[in-house]
Amino acid sequence: MFYRFLIYIRKPSNALWVIPSAGALLAVLIVFSASWVSALVPSESLPQIDKETVEGLLDVIASSMLAVSTFSLSIMVSAFASASNSATPRAIELVMGDDNTRMAIASFISAFIFAIIAKVALGIGYYGHNGLFALFVSTILVMLYLIVTLIRWVSTLSQLGRLENTLTKIQTAAEASLLAYRNDHNMGARWTSTVDALAYPLYAERSGYITHIDMASLQQQAEENDWYIHIAVRPGAMIMPDTVLAYVNLQPEQYAKEFEKHPALCLSDCFVMDASRTYEQDPAWGVIVLSEAAQRALSPAVNDPGTSIRVMSALLHLFVDTIPTKEQLDSIKNYDRLSIVEMNCGEWVEEGFLPIARDGATSVEVGLVMQKVLAGIARNAPETAMRSAARRVAILARERFVSSLLYESDKQKVLSKHEELFANS
């Protein structure tokens, strides 16, 4: 349950209200804690501050932050629409997750709440001599923080929602997921024995996509019940009610229990499902979303082959340069009662490049760059399956471009480039 709560909180669409709520609570705490100074500092030992001075500062914050918050929210909505139209609707989640945006909006809303509550407390005479000075200092600090936040917010606004910024966010999310995969292909699962013929099959409760698997909880349940569990799905898999999520090697006395009342049913909570895929444990999703951005750029309405070339360069970086460090390799988990189905990472190359080849088959520039990128993956990718897939996709892409290009000279360019790069493959 706690694992699901953490996922819920980390989801960008939910985090939009979490941070402002926390900021609002902090603002309330600051307002009321200002009066505690009187109990800590001797009476009237602090400088005298006019009540009107503090009220004037609070008026400035209250009036300006309401307008800035409204403006910022409208800018954020526009950025979501821009990311959806210029890249892909699947990128909106990452734009929502922009830390600078969330912190800026949370700061503006929190400052507005701070000013309103402080004005009310000031009006009812809540503060004494020392408390008024503490509120004045707090207000000055809030204003200084808002100035810094506004400057950073202006810098963020110059990039938020732009295509390049959106592509970078997608690439960063995909890189983090791929790095986790290469750090530990099996998500910490170390059990290598076979599944019993009578192993208990744990079925999905509904249709959707697997977004997260709580490996730690599965290991804990397996240890407590003396089970061994083979996980039959990976994050990103589409599941249905007849899909087996896992096979559980039980103790002999547990095989006779009715399926509807079986203790292994509790394992279902360890598989988080949703209507759409997410980036965190699903490297293929980042590749697919990048490919979607390239496909949109190649549509007749946009006709921007440069963006598709930018995406292919990003895919090359992902597949070739995303290598875990020694420190990351030393931090892998050890779930000795779990095993998991193998991931076919060669499919990622197909999912990333074949749609681009389909939609960009009439552009010789796209065809030439694709052959170069696939050759780089075929020579340098760490996984054998990925290298083999790159060679296979290069042949399919070559055939697609040769059959779609109108001019013979363009066809010969693609054929010659493929022969040059893959002659020894």
Least confident of 12-21, 91-100, 184-193: 12-21
Which has more confidence, 18 or 109?
A: 109
- What's the CA gap between 244 and 268, in Å, rounded? 11
pLDDT tens string 158-169: 888 889 999 999
Give CA 271 to chain center in angstroms.
18
Question: What's the pLDDT band for 347 if we cut at 50, 70, 90?
Answer: very high
Question: What's the pLDDT band for 323 if we cut at 50, 70, 90?
Answer: confident
Which position has the token pair 């779930």?
335
CATH 3.90.1170.30 fits 188-274, yes or no: yes
Mean pLDDT of 399-419: 95
What percent of the chain is predicted at pLDDT more than 90? 54
- What's the CA gap between 312 and 200, in Å, rounded? 44
Q: Cβ of 234: how many Cβ atoms within 10 Å? A: 19
- What's the CA gap between 411 and 414, in Å, rounded? 5
**Count of CA atoms in the C-beta half-sphere (13 A) of 41:** 16
Cβ neighbours for 389, distance < 8 A, ≥ 6 positions apart:
345, 346, 347, 348, 349, 350
CA angle 325, 328, 333 (to 5 degrees): 150
Question: What's the pLDDT band for 403 if we cut at 50, 70, 90?
Answer: very high
CA angle 46, 52, 54 (to 5 degrees): 60
Q: What is the DSSP pairing of strand 208-213 with strand 244-249?
A: unpaired
Which position has the token pair 């060669």?
346
Q: Is the pLDDT of residue 14 over 70?
A: no
Cβ neighbours for 384, distance < 8 A, ≥ 6 positions apart:
none
Give the DSSP H or E segment for 374: helix 364-380
What does the block give as tokens for 7?
């996922």
- What's the CA gap between 169 and 198, in Å, rounded? 46
Is residue 373 within 8 Å of residue 312, measured between CB atoms?
yes
The pTM assigned to this predicted structure is 0.86
DSSP-assigned letter for residue 335: B
> DSSP alpha helices (H): ranges in 232-304?
283-297
Q: Is the dihedral of CA 7, 12, 14, 17 positive or negative?
A: positive
Mean pLDDT of 392-411: 96
Is residue 330 within 8 Å of residue 183, measured between CB atoms?
no
- What's the CA gap between 338 and 187, in Å, rounded? 10
> DSSP alpha helices (H): ranges in 158-199?
163-183
Which has more confidence, 318 or 224?
A: 318
Which has more confidence, 276 or 194?
A: 276
What does the block give as tokens for 28?
């309330």
Annotated domain spans of the chain: 1-161, 188-274, 283-331+343-423
- What's the CA gap between 142 and 61, in Å, rounded? 9
Q: Is the dihedral of CA 386, 388, 391, 396 positive or negative?
A: negative
Q: Cβ of 78: how many Cβ atoms within 10 Å? A: 12
Q: Cβ of 399: how many Cβ atoms within 10 Å? A: 14
Q: Which of 26-40, 148-162, 244-258, 280-294 has the highest mean pLDDT?
A: 280-294
Q: Is the pLDDT of residue 258 over 60?
A: no
